[in-house]
Amino acid sequence: MARKILLTGGTGLLGISLIARMPFSFTICAGYYKFPKDRLSKAGRCEYREFDITSRDQVRAAFKGYSPDTVIHAASIGNVDYCEKNKNQAELTNIIGSRNMIEACAENGCSMIFTSSNAVFDGEHPPYDEAAAPNPVDYYGITKLETEKALASSGIKYSIVRLMTMYGWNHPLERQNPVTWILERLLRKERLNIVNDIYNNHLFAGNAAEAIWAIVRHEKEGIYHIAGGETVSRYDLALNVADCFGLDRGLINPVASSFFSQLAQRPKNTSYKIDKMEKDLLVRGLGIREGLEAMKADPPRGWKYDWM
Ligand SMILES: NC(=O)c1ccc[n+]([C@@H]2O[C@H](COP(=O)([O-])OP(=O)(O)OC[C@H]3O[C@@H](n4cnc5c(N)ncnc54)[C@H](OP(=O)(O)O)[C@@H]3O)[C@@H](O)[C@H]2O)c1
């Protein structure tokens, strides 16, 4: 069946991966906010639309102009320290902006796939399955949980996709992720201090997109934990990046997280159980080296990073 998808966060790491892997019978209207228009890349069945999710009027106009049947809501402020420092702005975008999207879905009979996060967990009782009780330790996690609650009481058809920390090729104008951050520094031959006491089953953005499209195609509802197939520390991730891309692993120094005075507290281990994703969506969580190899095999075309 042909489907019309309204995607928010179309220029972010996940948005780019979703557009690159969109199913054939689907069309997408990809929303963005501050991204420069002349840097948007044309993609066949994807049109772009600039609208600010914090504006009810702009959200309504976007729905009216496109008439979607499904919304994938992936726009947010995802920088944990930034959210901690700028709570009003994080609330406006992540809570009120999401509420505007939910309200428009209700008015237009649309279903929503909401991209939540491992940040809803405190990291004390891994691995987390979909029934585990959330307990966010930072403001970003609180904003994600607030939207989960708003969805549960909205009456619309929805699915909550709790994504693990992702990696992949972000657009050069967008924020980096752990892998592009490490790659840039290793390519510049900088020494890196990387924490060896924070664990995740890091998720390749392409793997996340595959799982989300399976949810949309099969009209799945409820909560899904989406993560990679292997739990490693940030330090082990960095060693894998160096080995996979043929860079110097000797530049990477392991440190405890107490080494950094970060603003927001970081949960120690928020890794997921991914049985539901693998059995229900038939999407296998990629191991770290597999995900990195997939990333390496599909380098960004037409984008220029100043460090590559
Ligand atoms: N990355 C991760 O590791 C991770 C992990 C767990 C969950 N998630 C969740 O997954 C989703 C996608 O994350 P991501 O990393 O792909 O995002 P990202 O790269 O940080 O990109 C954020 C996107 O949101 C858009 N945006 C921000 N404020 C907006 C506003 N007021 N109105 C409209 N659009 C706005 C940005 O548009 P412009 O480019 O135009 O500014 C951009 O497209 C988010 O919900 C995030 O919380 C991410």
The full set of domains in the chain, from first to last, is 3-169+205-229+268-286 (3.40.50.720)
Residue nearest to atom 44 of ligand 1 (CA): 74
Going from the Cα of 249 to the center of ligand 1, the distance in angstroms, rounded, reads: 30
pLDDT at residue 284, as a whole number: 98
- CA triple 52-93-23, angle to 5 deg: 65
Instruction: Give the three-state DSSP class for 293.
Output: helix
Which residues, listed in sequence order, are joined to residue 5 by a DSSP beta bridge? 28, 70
pLDDT (0 to 100) of residue 13? 98
Residue 218: CB atoms within 10 Å: 11
CA dihedral 150, 153, 155, 160 (to 10 degrees): 50
| CA 133 to ligand 1 centroid distance, Å | 24
| Ligand 1 binding pocket includes 35 (Cβ within 6 Å) | yes
Tokens of 119: 């940040």
Atom number of ligand 1 nearest to Cα 167: 3
* Token couple for 16: 């780019």
Distance, CA of 69 to CA of 172 (rounded, Å): 31
Choose one of 16, 17, 21, 33 to mutate for the ligand 1 pocket test, by most ligand atoms within 8 angstroms of C-beta.
33
Our mutation pick for probing the ligand 1 site, out of 28, 38, 60, 76, counting the most ligand atoms within 8 A of Cβ, is 76
Which pLDDT belongs to residue 1? 67
Q: Measured in angstroms, how far is the CA atom of residue 174 from the centroid of ligand 1?
A: 9
Is the CB of 93 within 6 Å of ligand 1? yes
Tens of pLDDT along 88-124?
999 999 999 999 999 999 999 999 999 999 999 999 9
Residue 76 CA to ligand 1 centre (angstroms)? 4
Q: How far is the C-alpha of 109 from the C-alpha of 3, rounded, in Å?
A: 14
Query: Which has more pLDDT, 202 or 37?
Result: 202
User: Is the model more confident about 203 or about 264?
Assistant: 203
| Percent of the chain at pLDDT exceeding 90 | 90
**CA atoms lying within 13 Å on the CB side of residue 132:** 24
Could you tell me the end-to-end alpha-carbon distance of the chain, in angstroms, rounded to an integer? 41
Cβ–ligand 1 distance for 179 under 6 Å, the answer no
* CB distance 201 to ligand 1 below 6 Å: no
- pTM across the whole model: 0.97
> Would the pLDDT of 188 be above 90?
yes
